[in-house]
Amino acid sequence: MTHMTHILTTILTIGPQATPTAAPTAVATATSTTSSGSSTLTALTNSLGVVIGFVVAFTVIFWLSLIIWTFRDIRSRTQDFLSQILATVLVAVFFIGGLFIYMILRPRQTLAEIYERQLEEESLLAEMTERQTCTNCHARVESDFQVCPSCGQKLKRPCPKCERLLELRWTFCPYCATNLAGAPMPSMPGMPGMPAMQQMQGGPGVPMGGPRY
């Protein structure tokens, strides 16, 4: 009985001493695990913050670029100040949606393209004005033609004094100041609707030059 009491006393003495030794080890393990998880979460949070910062910076720069591009594009297409402001505000407020709306409603041609087209039209009109045509058949004629070679329409007449070619509507010769109001207008032979041409200068009986057929 005394022996059993000694054994129980020994167990009770050793037990409380062994229990405090195991507790610090478990607490240290739990603290280490919590610290490692907190470090990982902090690293992920920092990385996500950097990514979000880059995305926000890119979005802002892209938004400003669209506004500047829209303002430059509308300035090259119209001089209306109100239209320029409205197009810029549309893109600034609605971002990409505003850009799509602007692309649909903007003028098709720029001011430079309109100016080039006007120059081409003016050049073509000047060329058509300078190019002389027959008033009857609109065939191309030269400035020294008296009749149209295609239809025989009378184009010009020679001055009876200086023999320079004159317009049919002229009343005075601008080269020798001859009054053409009373001068007969010569006619060409063989033209439909025109009388036979009188004999040329040199008097009656003088044959016209050129071979006879």
Res. 4: pLDDT tops 90: no
User: 203 in a domain, yes or no?
Assistant: no
Say if residue 127 is in the same domain as residue 162. Answer: no
Per the rule left: phi > 0, alpha: psi between -120 and 50, beta: everything else, 12 is alpha
Average pLDDT, the chain: 75
Domain of 78?
A: 50-131
CA dihedral sign, ordered 182, 150, 190, 135: negative
Of the segments 50-64, 145-159, 198-212, which one has the largest average pLDDT value? 50-64
Average pLDDT over residues 101-109: 92
pLDDT, tens digit, for every residue of 146-156? 788 888 888 78
pLDDT-derived band at 59, boundaries 50, 70, 90: very high
Number of structural domains (the chain) is 2
Dist CA 20 CA 24 (whole Å): 7
Query: Is residue 11 classed as helix, strand or coil in its secondary structure?
Result: helix
- The model's pTM is 0.47
Single out the residue of 66, 79, 67, 69 nearest to residue 107, CA to CA: 79
Say if residue 110 is in the same domain as residue 146. Answer: no
Dist CA 26 CA 117 (whole Å): 88
pLDDT, tens digit, for every residue of 117-132? 999 988 887 776 666 7
Dist CA 106 CA 102 (whole Å): 6
pLDDT, tens digit, for every residue of 167-191? 878 888 888 888 877 655 555 444 4
For residues 160 and 181, is the Cβ–Cβ distance under 8 A? no
Single out the residue of 34, 98, 33, 51 nearest to residue 70, CA to CA: 98
User: 38 in a domain, yes or no?
Assistant: no
